[in-house]
Structure 1
């Protein structure tokens, strides 16, 4: 498979060479695209140095910080334009372990979208306090039930998509940023009828640099999910009624 691992960065100078090296060791046949949002700490320049020394590494420079969703959409369009048939989302801080990627890629034989999941049997987190686990689990559960997407880790950002899946999702319709972008992508995947599968991963807390997560990002996600759920309720009720009628006809 012609895979590319997209790593969005903003002030990840401490991590970028370390994480790219781990990716290249874990999946030597995959390419790496670093999408840097004008990091003032020199991450972009370090990324250029990595690309100069490894033909499998490329860098997409963006003018400034516009959010995780915008960075991933730009990287995904870049990958599709260059003919990559498998596209991976991965954070730069090491919480998404490159060593977990081979089984995620192998699972594509039965799915269009792979979610690296912390909340299925075999998955988990390391170094999180109880309140962070609760926030993640409750947020995922709320999004799962509100939107009708049968995925236990709705907010995790370690994902693998086929090129066909991204084409069917329609990236122009996914406008969310940050924490909410991951929910938005899975909701669009569900609406598009794509096969989604979760593969267990271990998610360690970042060791270096600062997290971009905030309470405002979580609140934005929950408000957006509520709006989507209310807006899609009539269509979901029609689909459910249609399934009941079809089942009654079979009987």
Structure 2
């Protein structure tokens, strides 16, 4: 790990959970060991397997671990929006995202922290030189690569992994995006946030990570979920293009 990480201010990693009892203590422990100065916010969507209780126990033992309980499973984006709102209210300068299943390695978080030194949003990317995935079947890799290519073409952005969920935002970035206007709740949320950041004239940087497929618990991602996300992106992209055409016609 590099000796120097830029002073970015108070930082919190938001970790959404639903039925991650097998993983939550393991991943939070790794995160606290890899970056002891950072805080952690676990956002639990009413997991019936006791994930929230385990998170509460960790919080009781470690003042840098916080828990936000939601009463129902409302989707990935909704969980992140709740976590972001909490973090902004608490005065954090940098607000991050990561999965609870170990696919985003805390030991590589320093790459994102360094990348944020000259960016407004930094993404841990699988699809730039140096990035990789571990234990993925070729069909899933093809779906992710193809989906991201489709996003780049449809939305006219250059980010190669717009669907990635390992990220760091500056607080000022989230404030400029105006979170109250973000309506995406599912996996399309990630692409929505990238596009809003770019449309706001801010800088998005990608750094390479090694993405590791979960080994414990049940994945929330499936081909059906991915296809549904692409459908939403298609509708969103076409609507945005239509608005641009109408604006030009009015001139």
Relative to the length of structure 2, the TM-score reads 0.92
Matched, 1:228 2:240: no
In the alignment, what sits opposite 1:148? 156
Secondary structure of the residue that 1:20 maps to in structure 2? helix
Distance 1:180 1:237 in 2: 24
Describe how 1:10-159 pairs up with structure 2 within 5 A. 10-159=18-167
Post-superposition offset of 1:173: 2.2
1:102-132 superposed Cα distances (whole Å, 9 cap, x missing partner): 1211111110000100000000000001000
Please tell me the root mean square deviation across aligned C-alpha atoms, in Å: 1.6
Distance 2:215 2:60 in 1: 27
Matched, 1:215 2:191: no
Post-superposition offset of 1:9: 0.4
Distance 1:170 1:216 in 2: 30
Q: Which of 175, 200, 211 is the matching residue for 1:167? A: 175
CA change 1:237–1:111 in 2 (3 A) is farther
Q: Is the 8 A contact 1:149 1:186 kept in 2?
A: no
Matched, 1:7 2:15: yes
In the alignment, what sits opposite 2:3? none
Distance 1:131 1:207 in 2: 18
Secondary structure of the residue that 1:157 maps to in structure 2? coil
1:124-169 superposed Cα distances (whole Å, 9 cap, x missing partner): 0000010000000001110111111210001111111000000111
Secondary structure of the residue that 1:121 maps to in structure 2? coil
Secondary structure of the residue that 1:7 maps to in structure 2? strand
Distance 1:66 1:175 in 2: 12
**What number of residue pairs does the alignment pair up?**
240
Gaps spanning 5+ residues in structure 2: where?
1-8
Matched, 1:198 2:217: no
Relative to the length of structure 1, the TM-score reads 0.92
